[in-house]
């Protein structure tokens, strides 16, 4: 019998109950797991996934441990002093003591606004009639910072106290003008009043928001009330995208305060309200 015949006869023998295909000449089955086990036992090597690997020397030294390392038993953490593991404590400010919150003003806040406006010299104050007009026509542009003391469960909830306010209207010009600050005579019957081509008071089509009053009660000045209120106001207007800019007039000593919030000094104002001497300040949203 030739070698080919012998090989063919061996190939025709069933393997594990299966007979090889007739066209599988020269095909050899892979080594089984039992074969690998016998080979590894016979030889001086170990197998992992059919691949020989070097034996691990059990006599190798253990990994060195840093002598400065100290194991901590977390069950004993409660024995540490409280001050050593407590989180940083927020330093309470004078503003925190007011428990402040901001909300849009309404006509119900007219008397509150008159009270806050007393912070200004008399000739520069907004009149009660102007507050009634502005809080009727555009309350969404007016914001107040209130304080509400924390009381016991049995005590009745008091009415919030207005600490500071921002009262504004819309105007069609870039800067605040005397006409924009006036009170239209027939505002209760006429939607808008125009004199010499300029709108008197609130112009609902104007792209500029004119702040007529940013005031804080004298006893609460120096507590960052004005800063908190103005920051909140700017954020609301910017996020709502309802105006091209915010404009205000202020005296020279307050110019740095408004500049710190992004207002640009545009020079002396033509307004003669309250005796004049104002500076134009504009916070432009165009291009943001």
DSSP tag of 45:
-
Which residues of the chain are modeled with pLDDT < 50? 1-6, 55-56, 77, 80, 82-83
Bridge partners of 48? 51
d(CA 113, CA 128): 8
CA 128, 105, 236, 158 torsion-angle sign: positive
CA 187 to chain centroid, in Å, comes to: 39
d(CA 207, CA 170): 7
Per-residue pLDDT, 61: 53
Per-residue pLDDT, 91: 76
What is the torsion angle, in degrees rounded to the nearest 10, for the CA atoms of residue 95, residue 96, residue 97 and residue 98? 60
pTM of the entire predicted model: 0.68
- Do 147 and 163 form a contact (C-beta atoms < 8 A)? yes
Per-residue pLDDT, 5: 47
Q: What is the set of domains in the chain, with CATH numbers?
A: 94-148+155-282 (3.40.630.30)
- Do 193 and 137 form a contact (C-beta atoms < 8 A)? no
Cα separation values, 116 from 143, 167, 251, Å: 13, 11, 19
DSSP tag of 232:
H
Per-residue pLDDT, 2: 47
pLDDT tens-digit series, residues 27-39? 555 555 555 555 5
d(CA 252, CA 115): 25
Per-residue pLDDT, 6: 47
Dig out the tokens for 5 from the structure. Answer: 């015949």
Dig out the tokens for 227 from the structure. Answer: 């800063």
Write out the H or E segment, with its range, that includes residue 103. strand 100-104
Per-residue pLDDT, 97: 84
- Do 174 and 247 form a contact (C-beta atoms < 8 A)? yes
């Amino acid at each position: 019998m030739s070698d080919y015949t012998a090989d063919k006869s061996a190939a025709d023998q069933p393997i594990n109950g299966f007979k090889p295909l007739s066209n599988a000449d020269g095909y050899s089955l892979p080594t089984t797991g039992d074969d690998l086990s016998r080979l590894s036992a016979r030889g001086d090597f170990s197998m992992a996934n059919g691949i020989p690997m070097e034996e691990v020397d059990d006599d190798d030294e253990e990994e060195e441990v840093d002598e400065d390392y100290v194991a901590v038993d977390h069950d004993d953490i409660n024995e540490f002093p409280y001050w050593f593991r407590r989180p940083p404590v927020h330093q309470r400010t004078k503003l925190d003591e007011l428990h402040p919150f901001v909300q849009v003003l309404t006509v119900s806040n007219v008397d509150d606004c008159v009270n806050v406006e007393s912070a200004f010299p008399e000739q520069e104050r907004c009149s009660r009639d102007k507050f009634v007009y502005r809080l009727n026509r555009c309350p969404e542009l007016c914001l107040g910072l209130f304080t509400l003391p924390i009381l016991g469960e049995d005590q009745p909830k008091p009415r919030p106290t207005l600490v500071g306010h921002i009262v504004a209207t819309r105007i069609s010009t870039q800067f605040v003008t005397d006409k924009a600050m006036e009170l239209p005579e027939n505002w209760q019957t006429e939607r808008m009043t125009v004199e010499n081509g300029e709108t008197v008071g609130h112009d609902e089509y104007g792209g500029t928001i004119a702040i007529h009053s940013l005031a804080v009660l004298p006893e609460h000045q120096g507590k960052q009330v004005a800063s908190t209120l103005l920051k909140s106001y700017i954020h609301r207007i910017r996020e709502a995208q309802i105006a091209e800019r915010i404009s205000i007039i202020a005296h020279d000593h307050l110019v740095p305060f408004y500049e710190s919030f992004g207002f640009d000094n545009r020079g002396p104002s033509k307004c003669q309200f309250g005796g004049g001497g104002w500076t134009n300040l504009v916070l432009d949203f165009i291009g943001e």
